[in-house]
Structures are given as C-alpha cells and as structure tokens.
C-alpha cells in the first residue's frame, strides 16, 4: 500500500475518535497532509469549473433513509400450450445510514431497524462509487421473504412454496463529458453542478442470480419438476445522462443506460437433471437513475432512485424478468 493511501485511511479512522485518543497537534498535522494530497488530486481532475466544482465547505454530513424492493416474474409455456405466469415480490426493506464526507473521502454507518424485531431472512450489501468520469454499483442480496401468485390459463392461485433468491449485480459506467457533467453532484453531493450539462455514457453490467423453490416436506415431486433457476450474464451498452440546473437551489438528474447481453449461462435445475435455458435475442439489462436535490444556505434535501431491470430466457418457453429499485431520502449539511 502506498504512503498516500495510508494517510487517507488513517485520517478516515481518526477523524471520528474522541480527542483523548490522539494528540490535537498530531491530528492537525495529519489533516494538513491529507489536505495537500487532496489539493494535488483536485488540480489533476481537469474539471470545467464553470459547470462543476467542489463545495465551498470541506465537510458534508448526510442522514439517509434507504428504501428498496425487488420483484420478478416468470412466464412459461408448457408442451400443451398452457400458459403459466408466476409473480413474486418481497416486502419493502428500510435502512438508515449516516455518512460523513471530507473533500470526497467518505465513511458511512448503516442500520436496519427490522433487525431489532428478529427479521433477518434477507441481507443486502450495496456499494456505490460515483465519480465524474466513471463509477459503479455493487449489489449483493439474499432474500427469503418473497410472496407470490401464479396465473394459470387466466386463473390466479396463491403460491405457498417458499422461494429464496441470491443475486449479485455489478453496473459500471464511463461518462464521456466528465469535465462538465457530474454524477456525484446528483447522488453523493460531493460535487456541485453549477450549470446544466449532459453526457453520453458507456456501460458494462454483470448479473448472477439463483431462484430456488424450497421443496415441501412430505410432498412427492416428479423428476422434471423445476427446483431452481440459475442465470448469469454480461452486457454492454450506451446511454445518456443529463443534469438540469434551473437555478442555484435545484438540481434534477435523469439518466438511462440500456445494455445488450453478449454472454450468458442460464440453467434450469430440476429434481433430476440440469437443462440449459434457451435464449431469444435480444436479452437486455437497463439501469435508470433519477435524482432531485434542493439546496438551502448550508443544508440540502434530496431524493434519488436507481432502477435495475433484466430480462432473460426464451419467449416461446421460459422467460424471467427481474426488477430491483432503491430510493434514498437525504438530508445533509455542509460545514
């Protein structure tokens, strides 16, 4: 590890320690060192400061309420041309987080209130890193709280079988106009978008998910009964994002990044045997983002939404559509 990153990590740790844990003069010296490193990085950023700049204050604190949800549908046509339409969704999940940002260096602490009541059948790890030029989302989820229904030839039935899902999603983007267009201004508020600007973006996505129907005790199943779906794919595409700044107090962001699957490995696992899942071109994955931020003198409030959509399979046999969204309500202060 280079000395540069060692200074940065040490500063991130000690910034929130009580004064008694470190002499004040040592903290001040380390702060000066980190400031000098950040000054060098900022000078190399090559931003058009008529459009994008750092906040005039170094510290940004944010209180964030995260709300997310997932649902997916499975459409199947059997050999008798009977149509099955499975629909599953999970309860909304809430977390509360507090983040502190010093000139682009951030640490955060998240808390899930539902864990106080023993609800631990779902877990989600969500890591986002947005810069003006490139960024990524990393989302890992395990979920055993799905409720569903099935429509068979026009008749609805409740699904009593327990359904579990594990999924991993990685989305990355590259903004061609990163000098004038800022993703962080809309989503992490670590930059300020001064004037309206947009950018074309290249995107790359990887998604892996497994959906398992847990067998019920005492129930006999046929050998060709479907037990699990396993889907993996990689996709690439081109999109566009725009930051609209009607005045100094408002920022509105909208972007979409559709991608086309160029590699997949989709399996249907039955009680006995494994089959490769047929695919119909094009299989697609779409990431859409929305944000609006309202600024006061040193406070700001915002709402962000990130939506992920994937579609895989064959229209004539089995097709799976997966939808996941996350919204954040943000209250922040700079000082």
In a domain? residue 111: no
d(CA 78, CA 105): 54
Total structural domains within the chain: 2
Domain shared by 132 and 38, yes or no = no
Out of 74-83, 143-152, 317-326, the most confident range is: 317-326
Give the confidence band of 1 by pLDDT, cuts at 50, 70, 90: very low
Domain range for 2 is 1-44
Whether 111 has a pLDDT exceeding 80, the answer reads no
Q: What is the dihedral of CA 224, 311, 208, 120, to 10 degrees?
A: -90
Give the confidence band of 5 by pLDDT, cuts at 50, 70, 90: very low
Out of 75-89, 159-173, 244-258, 311-325, the most confident range is: 244-258
In a domain? residue 274: yes
Give the confidence band of 173 by pLDDT, cuts at 50, 70, 90: very high
Domain shared by 205 and 285, yes or no = yes
Whether 6 has a pLDDT exceeding 90, the answer reads no
Residue bearing the bigger pLDDT, 302 or 58 = 302
pTM reported for the whole predicted model: 0.80
Structure tokens at 291: 């944000």
268: which strand partners? 229, 275
Query: CB burial class (10 A; 0-12, 13-18, 19+) of residue 296?
Result: exposed
Domain shared by 234 and 298, yes or no = yes
* Pair type for strands 226-244 and 197-213: antiparallel
Give the confidence band of 274 by pLDDT, cuts at 50, 70, 90: confident
Residue bearing the bigger pLDDT, 226 or 99 = 99
Domain shared by 122 and 6, yes or no = no
d(CA 139, CA 124): 7
């Amino acid at each position: 590890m280079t000395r540069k990153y060692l200074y940065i990590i040490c500063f991130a740790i000690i910034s929130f320690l009580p004064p008694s844990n470190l002499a004040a003069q040592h903290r001040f010296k380390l702060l000066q060192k980190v400031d000098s490193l950040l000054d060098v990085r900022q000078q190399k950023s090559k931003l058009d400061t008529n459009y994008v700049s750092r906040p005039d204050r170094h510290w940004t604190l944010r209180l964030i309420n995260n709300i997310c949800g997932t649902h997916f549908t499975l459409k199947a046509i059997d050999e008798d041309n009977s149509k099955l339409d499975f629909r599953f969704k999970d309860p909304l999940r809430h977390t509360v987080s507090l983040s502190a940002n010093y000139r682009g260096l951030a640490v955060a602490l998240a808390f899930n209130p539902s864990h106080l009541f023993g609800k631990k059948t779902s877990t989600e790890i969500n890591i986002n890193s947005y810069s003006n030029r490139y960024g990524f989302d990393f989302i890992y989820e395990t979920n055993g709280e799905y409720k569903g229904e099935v429509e068979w030839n026009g008749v609805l039935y409740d699904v009593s079988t327990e359904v579990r899902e594990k999924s991993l999603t990685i989305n990355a983007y590259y903004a061609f106009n990163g000098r004038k267009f800022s993703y962080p201004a809309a989503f992490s508020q670590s930059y300020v978008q001064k004037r309206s600007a947009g950018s074309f973006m290249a995107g790359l996505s990887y998604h892996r998910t497994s959906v398992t129907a847990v067998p019920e005790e005492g129930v006999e199943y046929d050998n060709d009964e479907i037990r699990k779906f396993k889907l993996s794919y990689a996709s690439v595409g081109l999109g566009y994002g725009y930051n609209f700044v009607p005045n100094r107090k408002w920022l509105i962001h909208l972007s979409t990044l559709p991608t086309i699957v160029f590699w997949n490995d989709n399996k249907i696992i039955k009680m006995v045997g494994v089959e490769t899942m047929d695919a119909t071109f094009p299989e697609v994955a779409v990431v859409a983002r929305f944000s609006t931020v309202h600024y006061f003198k040193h406070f700001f409030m915002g709402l962000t939404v990130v939506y992920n959509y994937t579609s895989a399979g064959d229209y004539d046999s089995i097709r799976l559509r997966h939808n996941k969204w996350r919204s954040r309500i943000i209250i922040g202060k700079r000082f």
